[in-house]
Structure 1
Amino acid sequence: MPELNLLSELERRLEGEFISDGFELFEFGEPKHDAWSDAQEFVEAFLPFAQATGSGSFYALWRIDDRADLATLPIVVFGDEGGVHLTGRNLRDLFCQLASDRPLSVDWSDACFGEYEGYHRERDGAPQAHQSYVAWLNQHFGLEPASDPNDLIEAARNDFGARFETWIEPLTQEI
């Protein structure tokens, strides 16, 4: 995916500094969700691509259909302690959420972005990494940080929530 390849290049240039609290790309499509359901349909429907939190939650694209442009697929988060939730309508929504630099909280019932805490920015180089990301986002996509990243979660739920819940419930009843 061109968008994730560009972001990966930025992460390499930043030499390990996080662009946003808890976010880090990993091998695209690497299965991390196969323990959530035995249903092949479930496993094939998600393309994991990044850590969402420092505790192990991760982001994945939801293959809602067979569209060619994967960046337009909805974004879900798998919680390290449970829960699978929509978080964005597409990759650009996620990019704007990351630019707000607020920590994501995920549990069985919900996913939401908390208030900015700033503790991860105390290391040398960390504030510059986030500023570099915000500039990168504007340069490559003409986008700005979301003023409230939870508004984008709500938009994803409005657009895809009913369909997602109807689809996922029978596939995850045993977890």
Structure 2
Amino acid sequence: MYSPIPVLNELKDLYDSTRDYLADGFELYGYDDKTCFPGELTDPEFLSRLIPIAQANGTGSTYAIWRSSDEPDLTKLPIVVFGDEGGEYVIARDFRDFLRLLGYDVEITVDHDSAYYFRDEDHEHSGSHELFVEWLRRQGLAPAEDPDALIAAAQEIHGERFRAWITPFYEKLGWL
């Protein structure tokens, strides 16, 4: 079993069944592989509250489940992104919203001021996009039409609390 999350296991099976990207820049990691975080972030409390699940873009940003509470159903917890050059944000209220964001099929851009998905008019979908959209529909989901709205909703609910949680870890490292 890949993970304790049934829908993530199904996603992994789909991911393994194709050679093309399901979503632009999205590559699953080994479940809960902490090596994706910078080597300085070794605090056990920090690491215990984050479950890395995937590479978010071609430059090494990371998607992770944030254990914002002791909720046993990990699909109900928020998804965060850590930018490869800085910046970290709550981008999805839960796993369902995260899957919808992936369905938009664009790499996320993460910087110190924001995280967003941008798709220009001549964007070509990933090779396995249609296969992923079919899978989403079987999950009762549709790709996000407005990813910024999903990110804004996640930030509204979890953004300040995430910032308050992560700040002491960064302060210890002198990053703030």
**The two structures share one fold, judged by TM-score above 0.5:** yes
Partner of 2:154: 156
Letter aligned with residue 157 of structure 2: D
Superposed counterparts of 1:124-163, under 5 Å: 126=127, 129-139=128-138, 141-163=139-161
Match of 1:102 in 2: 106
Structure 1 gaps of 5+ residues are: none
Offset at residue 119 of structure 1 (A): 5.2
The percent identity for this pair of structures is: 40
Query: Quick one: which amino acid aligns to residue 137 of structure 2?
Result: N
2:123 is matched with 118
Residues 110-156 of structure 1: per-residue CA shift (max 9 Å, x gap): 111112453574xxxx1xx10010010111x2110111111111010
In 2: Cα distance, 1:91 partner to 1:108 partner: 24
Q: Under a length normalisation based on structure 2, what TM-score does the superposition of the two structures give?
A: 0.89
Q: CA deviation at 1:38?
A: 4.2
- Give the aligned partner of residue 72 of structure 2: 68
The normalised TM-score by structure 1 is 0.89
Aligned to 1:18: 21
- Aligned Cα root-mean-square deviation (Å): 1.5
Aligned to 1:53: 57
Q: Structure 1 pair 119/36, CA: closer, same or farther in 2 (3 Å)? A: farther
Contact 1:34 1:43 in 2 (8 A): no
Q: Which runs of 4+ in 1 moved over 3 A?
A: none
Q: Specify the code of the residue in structure 1 equivalent to 2:30.
A: E
